Amino acid sequence: MRVALTTILLLSALPAAAQTGLSSVTTTDMGNDIPIAASPVQEKCITIMSGFPDNGHIPRYQFFKLTQELTTDIDPMMRSALDYFGDASVTQNTPVVEVIENIANPVFRQAAPEITIGNMAYLADFALDCETYLTGQIESLTAYDQSLTDPEFNIVIAEDALFMRQILSDSLFRIGAQDHEIFGPYVHNYASGLIRSRDEIEFAGFETELAMIENSYLSDLDGRLARSNDVINKELDQEALLIALEETEDLNNHARLESKSKMIQTLAMILGGG
């Protein structure tokens, strides 16, 4: 699993300074470009998204999807807990790769879990506030390349997200958040949600493997049965029924003549007197 995360990090180049088409939104009116004022949330979302890798649609998809997955089980109370316990100097201009590296950093995890939590709080805030933008990006990327919906590929991303969520949970326990009067129960719930998520990911992986077996066996079986049906149906002697019907016709003609002759005999016997 770690290999997958590493792969993501390697695949991603340094964040682009600006994302054309995301950093500024324009529309055309009578041939003149008129800037549309962005709301503070829009500004925030666009700025942060410009810090996502832009060295290809696959790494972009991976990062958007990973960020979306990270919000699993983060409800408003959990979000408040992250804000409360987190302590990291992350700004809107911090590249997202750097934020993720900070979360995965084992030194921070051990020595300064507040930094890990703070970085996660930043990502969660972004993902929840900019959910529409994230979903839009993910949908347009999958529309552009259907292979991005490949279940196996997405399971790898979900496993990476789970790994990071596990780090968050560990960090929260490390600073004793589970014992907090208000946030403690939510921290516990979050931890038990990780088990459920693990089960779901494992089941999704199992489903994927099973689907591959099913597809291979079902198409193979279907082909074999179809071929066998054709071969066996060709063996059917179609003459047999024709012969039977011709024989029936002959016998019927014979029977007709016979019954006529029998009728004549009967008539002759009765009418012939005696």
Binding site for another protein (CB under 8 A): 195-196, 199, 202-203, 206-207, 209-210, 213-214, 217-218, 220-222, 224-226, 228-230, 232-238, 240-241, 243-245, 247-248, 251-252, 255-256, 258-260, 262-263, 266-267, 269-271, 273-274
Residues for the chain: how many in total?
274
Are 66 and 138 in contact, with CB atoms under 8 Å apart?
no
Minimum distance, C-beta of residue 262 to another protein, in the bound complex (Å): 7
Please report how close the Cβ of residue 18 comes to another protein at its closest, in angstroms.
Answer: 46
Closest approach of another protein to the CB of residue 75, in Å? 21
**Cβ proximity to another protein, 181 vs 235, nearer residue:** 235
As measured in angstroms, the least distance from the Cβ of 227 to another protein is 9
Instruction: Indicate the SS3 state at residue 90.
Output: coil
Q: How far is it, in rounded angstroms, from Cα 138 to Cα 92? A: 21
**Residue among 91 and 238 whose Cβ is closer to another protein:** 238
Least distance CB 211 / another protein (angstroms): 9
Q: What angle do CA 124, 1, 130 make, to 5 degrees?
A: 20
Minimal distance, residue 261 CB to another protein, in Å: 9
Instruction: Write down the number of H helices and E strands in the chain.
Output: 11, 2
* Minimum CB distance to another protein, residue 188 (Å): 16
- C-beta of 179 vs 199, nearer to another protein: 199
Nearer Cβ to another protein (25/225): 225
Contact at 8 Å (CB) between 70 and 165? yes
* Nearer of residues 107 and 271 to another protein, judged by Cβ: 271
**Please, which residue, 25 or 210, has the CB nearer to another protein?**
210
Contact 51, 95 (CB under 8 A): yes
| Least Cβ distance, residue 28 to another protein (angstroms) | 48
Instruction: Answer for the pair 100, 88: CB distance below 8 angstroms, yes or no.
Output: no
Nearer to another protein, 25 or 226 (CB): 226
143 vs 243 by CB, closer to another protein: 243
CB 172 within 8 A of CB 178: yes
